[in-house]
Amino acid sequence: MNKRLAILSTLLRYPDEALRADLPDVMAAIAEAGFSERDRRALERLVRRLGSGDPLDRQEEFVRLFDRGRSTSLHLFEHVHGDTRNRGPAMVELAAVYEANGFAMTGRELPDYLPLVLEFCAVAPPETAANLLAQAGPLLQQIHARLMARGLPSSRGYAAVLAAVLSEARLAPATLPTEANDQADEDDLAAIDAAYEDQPVVFGPESDPDQQGARAKVAAMIQRLRAARQAAART
């Protein structure tokens, strides 16, 4: 198994209760997986961010980055085929690659969902994984660049995951964080930790949290939940 790809797949999952509980193990795995020094530090910073502050904030950030519009969608064929009829045959072809290599899709995510693609590549024969990542490389570079262009600590955190995936494909991202970005992200984490005084509240849809439709509903509810918590705190 390629442990680095397995870690990267996990970090791109929706930040629900299960992922938050796994973060200590993920942090330990990052240290031992053989990432480059820069990738390791950036991934560790993302793990710390995902484990800091209000879980609702982390979920809202994920939804805002990946589920609102196509520009940074984690469904790869969105960037190639959109909603055209060509997307269906591409899905079938990718699913056939999974099946041919004995990979069972256990959830209801579409075959082109990047965390699922990386989960497959982590256990696939190296040649098969390298070929698939090379084909996806231009899309990954595009998503990475758009995340970096957002200029947010959350978007740069997830861009670090894409940069590490590109490293596995022996490709370079067009834009890398600067030392100033890194320090700004560290300062942001410190501010989150200082402001977080309440007990963590865990929230996630009762259905599969990786479903895009379910997350869209979560996004609409997050503000109401936060307002209710603030009102309760004042009484």
Q: What is the pLDDT of residue 4?
A: 98
3-state secondary structure of 70: coil
Decide: 7 and 29 in contact? Cβ < 8 Å. Answer: yes
Residue 168: HSE in the Cβ half-sphere, 13 Å Cα cutoff: 29
* Lowest mean per-residue pLDDT among 26-40, 102-116, 161-175, 197-211: 197-211
Pick the range with the lowest mean pLDDT from 110-114, 199-203, 218-222: 199-203
- DSSP of 16-44: -HHHHHHHHHHHHHHHHTT--HHHHHHHH
Q: How far is CA 156 from the centre of its chain?
A: 11
Give percent of the chain with pLDDT exceeding 90: 61
Rounded Cα–Cα distance for residues 47 and 232 (Å): 30
Give the residue among 123, 137, 124, 149 at the shortest CA–CA distance from 76: 137
Counting residues of the chain whose pLDDT is more than 70, the rounded percentage is 72
Q: What is the DSSP letter of 85?
A: T
| Contact by Cβ (8 Å): 161, 62 | no
pLDDT per position as a tens digit, 125-182: 999 999 999 999 999 999 999 999 999 999 999 999 999 999 999 999 977 655 655 5
Residue 72: pLDDT over 70: yes
Q: How much is the pLDDT for 171?
A: 94
Overall average pLDDT of the 48-69 stretch: 93
pLDDT value of position 203? 36
Predicted confidence (pLDDT) at residue 35 exceeds the cutoff of 90:
yes
Give how far the C-alpha of residue 119 lies from the chain's centroid of Cα atoms, to the nearest Å.
12
Q: 92: which 2 tokens?
A: 């079938």
Over residues 80-105, mean pLDDT: 85
How large is the average pLDDT for residues 104-122? 91
Side chain identity at 43, as an amino acid letter? L
Confidence of residue 106 (pLDDT cuts 50, 70, 90): confident
Mean pLDDT over residues 66-85, rounded?
A: 83
Arithmetic mean of pLDDT, 72-96 = 84
Rounded mean pLDDT, 193-211: 45
Q: How confident is the model at residue 69 (pLDDT cuts 50, 70, 90)?
A: confident
Closest residue by Cα to residue 193 from 57, 54, 20: 54
**Do residues 72 and 143 make contact, with C-beta atoms less than 8 angstroms apart?**
yes
Give residue 206's pLDDT: 38
pLDDT band at 208 (very low <50, low <70, confident <90, very high): very low
